[in-house]
Amino acid sequence: MNYDSVVAYFVALFFVAVGIRLLRVSQRTGQSPERLLGIYFVATGLSYGVWQVPVMLNVQAAGGPIDLFAWTLYCVGVVPFLMFVQQVFRPDTTWAKTLVAGCTVALLVGMMVWIAAGQDYYRIDNPWFWPVWVGFTVPCLWMSAEAFISFDSAKRRVRIGLCDRVVANRYLLFGLFGVFQALACATDLAVLVDFEKNARFSSGLNLSTLLVEMAGIVVLFLAFFPPQFYRNRFADPVDDAPHTSEVG
């Protein structure tokens, strides 16, 4: 088992754990945002795990179909993520709905062309590579931007007691998660470019991708499984209870 696969499986398992947690929340609340985000994390985590199967089982000959299955899972998982960002941050905005539709079309049409074309589709010189890459990178950047904007306004709401400090911090963590995911997409692209040029994987670029993925795990951990010392930062110093919002 190589180091890359160990880290990839750790990331995969963590994503699935976060996804299952969110799906359980959605079962309780019956609301779609947490369901959409839960589906995204489960699908993404499963895709990360499936990607490692040929490596783990040393069955490179079966790598093509397995790789394609993992890509399909990953791209399909991005669609609920897009819907989550739109529903949460821009529920009534036409351009946001257009962006969701555009990225979805880019991802699904690109994947269908990949499936029809067979192997060697994840290449820079494949014209359908770029719609798919943009389709899964743009949502990360969008999420990040919206979360940082929300964090900025949430800080003002916290000051007047209209927002919980934990919630404001969660916006910040989601913003950072979006940045790290976008960086992972960028470093993955750099790895591909380097591989196509030099016919080998750069250990430096691989390490960069892993570090960025791990940074994303850290912020997700703080967002969904915050340790006590982290939660204590947001406790109300007067009454030792988190300052809760009374929205609505």
Partner 1 sequence: MASDLFDHAAERLERHTDLDRLEARGTLRLAIKQAGLATDRLTLHQLGVVFEKVMPAQLDVRGTSASTSVCRAVMDELSRVSIATAATNDSDEIFQRLGGK
Contact residues for partner 1, defined by CB under 8 A: 21-22, 25, 29, 31, 33-34, 37, 88-89, 92, 150, 152-157, 160-164, 166-167, 170-171, 174, 223-224, 245-248
Quick one: DSSP state of residue 244? -
Distances (CA, A) of 184 to 101, 177, 191, 239: 23, 10, 10, 41
Given CA atoms 225, 210, 109, 134 in this order, what sign does their dihedral have?
Answer: positive
The burial class, CB within 10 Å (0-12 / 13-18 / 19+), for 49 is buried
Q: At closest approach, how far in Å is the CB of 228 from partner 1?
A: 14
Q: At closest approach, how far in Å is the CB of 211 from partner 1?
A: 25
Q: Which is nearer to partner 1, 8 or 217 (by Cβ)?
A: 217
Q: Which is nearer to partner 1, 111 or 217 (by Cβ)?
A: 217
Q: Which is nearer to partner 1, 50 or 168 (by Cβ)?
A: 168
The burial class, CB within 10 Å (0-12 / 13-18 / 19+), for 77 is buried
Query: Amino acid identity of 71?
Result: W
Rounded (to 5) percent helix, strand, coil in the chain: 80, 0, 20
C-alpha span between 147 and 89 (Å, rounded): 8
Q: At closest approach, how far in Å is the CB of 244 from partner 1?
A: 8
